[in-house]
Structure formats: structure tokens, C-alpha cells
């Protein structure tokens, strides 16, 4: 093992970390927001059908194909090139982010749906008889309970998205994986470089795992033997 090379490569890969984190955080924020909207849509019959179709398509096709469809495919439509969105949609950055958001929303909306279904009907009724508005019930009772229920499954999705960001390297973006790929084609030292990149992803995953365990205990202390807040 050439530790000087490894150290240098490590520093080199870390230059891609900001872009990786950027994609990761923004796709989770955007996907989470869209997932909430998809679940609110599910309260009407037509909205439910639309949300179900959306999830079916984006969960049922490979993220890589979604990225390619948006990056290479959209440009084939004249009206896309004419539209005010074209300055964004011709940039690989925005195409990659859009694909990640749309994909994350499909998974997150299903995780949230499971959480919402697990909210006891009685807790909602107790809110209604207290005179709370529908919005207050959603904000004070339904979503907090659903979120707690969904947290373990959601932390999976968070880690999953971290690794999914690596796919944007296929559309010219220099995230950590993008830098790794470029370095491999220059040096042909694939194993060392990929090990280095994997180690960084692994370290971030570890942080997520730890954080979500802590967060779960913090949100639901009664499930962990703590008698008071």
C-alpha cells in the first residue's frame, strides 16, 4: 500500500464532498417536501390515483435511467428548450438534483404513508373533540406521531440517498465519485481510489446511523425506559 498516494487521493476526493453533501441534503429536503404533498394529495380520490401512479413510476424504474431521461431526454423536446426552465434543465447539476428529488419523493412518500397509517384514530379524534382545526391536528398530532413511527425506515432512505448521489457522476458532475472516476482513468489505481471513496461514504453513513438512533431516543424517550422527558 502506498500511503502517500492514499493520503493525497483522500484529500483529492474530499474536494468532491461539498457537491455530494449538496445533492444529498437538497434532494432529501426537496424529496421530503414533495413526499408530504403527495400524502396530502392522497386524501382525495383523484389525488390518490395521481400519487399512486407517481410512486409506481419513480419507484419502479432505475434512478440511473431517470437521471439520463432528464439530462439527455428532455433536451429532445422543443418546448422544453423554449421554456423558461431551459437555463436550468440544460445544466447537469439541476438535472441531477431534479432526478434525485423526484426519486427520493417516491420512496419517502411511501415511508410517510406507512407512518400516517400507524397513527391511532383515537389520537386524532381526541384532537377533534378538543376543538382543534384540521391543520392543527396535522401539525400537533398526526405528523409528529407519523414521523416518529417512520423514523427507522426513513433513516434507511437517508443513507440510501447518500449513495444514490454517486450516480450524478455519470452526467459529468464532479462529486466524490466523479473525482474518483477521473482519478482512476488517469492513474489506473482503481482499488485504492475506490476504497478511499467508499471509506468516506461509510464514515458519513456511520454518522447518520448514530444520529438517527440518538434522534429516535430523543423523540420517543418513553420507548427507551426513560420515565420523564
Partner 1 sequence: MTDAVETKAVGPALSITGLRKTFGANEVLRGIDLSARDGDVISMIGASGSGKSTLLRCIPMLEIPDAGTVTVGEDSLSPKGARLTRAEEATARRMRGHLGFVFQNFNLWTHRTVLQNVIEAPLFVQNRSRAEAVDEATALLEKVGLAEKRDAWPAHLSGGQQQRVAIARALAQRPRAILFDEPTSALDPELVGEVLKVIRSLAEEGRTLLIVTHEMGFARDVSSRVVLLHQGQIEEDGTPEQVFANPRSDRARAFLSGHFDRTR
Which distant-in-sequence residues (6+ apart) come within 8 Å of 128 by Cβ?
Answer: 137
37-to-101, 151, 152, 185 alpha-carbon distances in Å? 13, 18, 21, 43
Tell me the residue length of the chain: 229
Among 183, 120, 142, 126, CA closest to 43: 142
Q: Which stretch binds partner 1 (CB under 8 A): 31-39, 96-104, 141-149, 185-193?
A: 141-149
- The answer to whether residue 144 forms part of the interface with partner 1 (CB under 8 A) is yes
Nearer to partner 1, 7 or 221 (CB): 221
x/- letters, 148..187, toward partner 1 (CB under 8 A): x---------------------------------------
Binder of partner 1 out of 60, 78, 87, 131 (CB under 8 A): 131
- Distance, in Å, from the CA atom of 175 to the CA atom of 23, rounded to the nearest integer, reads 9
Nearer to partner 1, 62 or 120 (CB): 120
- The answer to whether residue 222 forms part of the interface with partner 1 (CB under 8 A) is yes
Binder of partner 1 out of 33, 133, 172, 187 (CB under 8 A): 133
Nearer to partner 1, 62 or 221 (CB): 221
With CB under 8 A as the rule, give the number of residues binding partner 1. 27
**Concatenated DSSP letters for 122-186?**
HHHHHHHHTT--HHHHIIIIIHHHHHHHHHHHHHHHHHHHHHHGGGGGGGT--SHHHHHHHHHHH
- The answer to whether residue 218 forms part of the interface with partner 1 (CB under 8 A) is no
- Distance, in Å, from the CA atom of 146 to the CA atom of 215, rounded to the nearest integer, reads 15
- The answer to whether residue 224 forms part of the interface with partner 1 (CB under 8 A) is no
- The answer to whether residue 140 forms part of the interface with partner 1 (CB under 8 A) is yes
- Binding residues for partner 1, per CB under 8 A? 120, 122-123, 125-134, 136, 140-141, 144-145, 148, 219-223, 227-229
Amino acid at each position: 500500500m502506498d500511503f502517500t498516494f492514499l493520503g493525497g487521493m483522500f484529500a483529492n476526493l474530499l474536494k468532491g464532498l461539498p457537491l455530494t453533501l449538496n445533492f444529498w441534503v437538497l434532494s432529501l429536503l426537496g424529496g421530503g417536501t414533495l413526499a408530504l404533498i403527495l400524502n396530502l394529495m392522497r386524501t382525495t380520490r383523484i389525488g390518490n390515483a395521481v400519487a399512486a401512479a407517481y410512486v409506481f413510476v419513480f419507484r419502479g424504474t432505475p434512478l440511473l435511467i431517470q437521471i439520463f431521461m432528464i439530462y439527455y431526454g428532455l433536451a429532445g423536446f422543443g418546448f422544453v428548450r423554449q421554456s423558461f426552465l431551459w437555463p436550468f434543465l440544460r445544466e447537469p447539476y439541476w438535472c441531477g438534483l431534479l432526478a434525485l428529488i423526484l426519486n427520493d419523493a417516491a420512496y419517502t412518500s411511501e415511508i410517510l404513508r406507512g407512518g400516517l397509517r400507524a397513527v391511532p384514530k383515537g389520537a386524532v379524534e381526541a384532537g377533534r373533540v378538543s376543538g382543534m382545526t384540521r391543520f392543527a391536528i396535522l401539525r400537533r398530532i398526526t405528523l409528529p406521531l407519523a414521523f416518529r413511527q417512520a423514523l427507522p425506515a426513513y433513516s434507511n432512505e437517508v443513507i440510501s440517498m447518500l449513495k444514490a448521489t454517486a450516480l450524478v457522476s455519470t452526467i459529468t458532475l464532479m462529486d466524490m465519485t466523479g473525482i474518483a472516476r477521473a482519478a482512476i482513468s488517469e492513474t489506473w489505481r482503481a482499488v485504492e481510489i475506490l476504497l478511499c471513496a467508499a471509506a468516506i461514504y461509510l464514515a458519513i453513513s456511520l454518522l447518520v446511523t448514530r444520529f438517527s438512533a440518538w434522534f429516535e431516543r430523543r423523540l420517543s424517550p418513553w420507548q427507551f425506559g426513560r420515565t420523564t422527558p
